[in-house]
Amino acid sequence: MFESVYAYSSMFVTAFLASTILPLGSETLFAYLAHSGHNLILLILVASIGNFIGSLVNYYVGMLGQKTILSRYIKIDNRQFKRSKDLFNRYGNPILFFSWVPVIGDALTLFAGVAGSDLKKFYVYVFFGKLARYLVIALFFL
């Protein structure tokens, strides 16, 4: 019982941290837990929600900009930020579906906050992008 609680808690925290600016991935833990026989549907939901909430942190850091202490510690490569800004300006909110993509995904969610993107659209595109990511990974374990 407690083993499962720790497994899902670890998945949530890892997915959360992986979607912030920290150089961390959640796929390895997800794959390990899926392979270990944990409930795949619950694993997908926990990972997706954790990853989504981490992206919300990026959004709010971007929105608040230099007004927060947190923004002093979260640095993003200028090339990543410029590329994400160009993509966001070209495609608008739908590009947020790809916030799971390594390297530019975190910058996309940060820039969405800087740009003042509609939060409702942010929720939809980012959450379903994160969910799709874990669904694709989970397909390997069915």
Look at residue 30 in the predicted model and tell me its pLDDT: 95
27, 77 contact by CB (below 8 A): no
* pLDDT tens column, 106-122: 888 988 988 888 999 99
Look at residue 89 in the predicted model and tell me its pLDDT: 80
* pLDDT tens column, 43-68: 999 999 999 999 999 999 888 875 66
> pLDDT band for position 76 (50/70/90)?
low
